[in-house]
Structure 1
């Protein structure tokens, strides 16, 4: 087999002409549109003489590449091996960064016992170098690092339910760039995500998506150049967003909040319990499921700070029908009796917020 030979694929319809070679075992087949397709030598057959057997291919595969150059009568400089790699495909609208961390059950039909696969999804025209870590005490443990090509997904690891307890907080850092062409510089991304182990026991957690044929839990790292928001945000950031929204709706801005301590050390921790902030999607969840998830977030937050005496935590629950607030008050009365609570400042958080003080 040499450059210019007409070949046909053995395992599928189609073929083309030999444009070159990648090493001894891969031939570059150029189709009628001019695309060069890397194909194993054993998967094509020369058809210029209507010989469809694989005998000639096997003989060529066993013959060392160096002997081709040693044969003075048949040697042609154009027959030398060619190094070829198809350029990364780009799509319209892909110059805005979007990347996701995805968890896919190995056996979705046995969700209570299935293991899970972790993937990094690059939904953009940029290459991405990522670092994936999980929190371990006060530090971090590296789980994976590597490069992901544009518009592809990369398998990171497989894990079981016994490891869920070590993955409650994960961090993804990434740098985006393009190869062999100019590109717009993108800021480095550093996003921390909360992983709720309880969600991995619920079938509705894993939904249809654009990246996998099977249901998956897909968490945004960055979407349309906007990094994902953390689950728990500080008071200053929440106030800025609330005021920005009020300005956009042409409503009077709320007064600037006044906190004790010029350095902000006495600012309360703010946790937004709205379902839209806690969950990627509520598809398939009943009102009771959502309420239980909100209460579990409330309990976990109290337990996390229960040793920090005097710590103030503001829970944003909204006004609504008062169901969530009533449930929170019930928890404080019977489960967390040592905590004090009161309505949070209306000027800062509106009517739908409760402030808890750890005692």
Structure 2
């Protein structure tokens, strides 16, 4: 397959163009145009349109290493930055972010159902980034296991750390948090650290920990009787989130509020989910139908909410 996610292509037989947003198999790809509708097409029926490249995707030439004052030599700071494609929002790109002063000899391989594949191998210069992988965020549950391997290199009089090997099977929770500014890339995205910062032991805190009780009571705040699950009420950056991210955040808030209502023995609680396309409402009803502490549930006050809220009666 000569195409990869995020490539800009034009149809051979039609006046259409768009971005590759799915690799279906060795012969078929999915192409999304300006209408955000994905069209499956034979790879032989499209051609590359040169000139578009995701930000940061150009490979950096490895320059001669410049001497650095040893006092300012950065030994830590290796991350994976995951950012959405500027044109194809359903596609995310993985960047190796090297905030250290070492040159990093880096490889990425994937494994899924005993199928192994080398995805990237190259040198990432100090204080630079390199795009190493692309994927469909909506297919997160189908992603393979990732293995990142890093060797450190420098010509300066610095002891080089042991090789870094990190295996990672990403889950939805890894992408449910607020996006952060990815160092060196200057884009908002999710940041996963591969090397751990050096641990500094605070002697006073260590001493205090010996005198803490073995178990500390967890205090759960009493919830309100009506819980609004509209995403704009839960996150300020909702306009940058994918549908799957929004649903994950809304369900997490629902579970937290329901658990609090049960702990405080409330007789009932109402969840305002909106009508929309019914996805969130259906997910809530499925979860409520299986919950041992739920007596029953129903549409709440149709004159006020229509079909946009569910009232839950607790046992």
TM-score by length of 1: 0.38
Larger RCO (alpha carbons 8 Å, 6+ apart): 2
- Given the two structures, how large is their TM-score scaled by the length of structure 2? 0.43
Larger radius of gyration: 1
More strand by share: 2
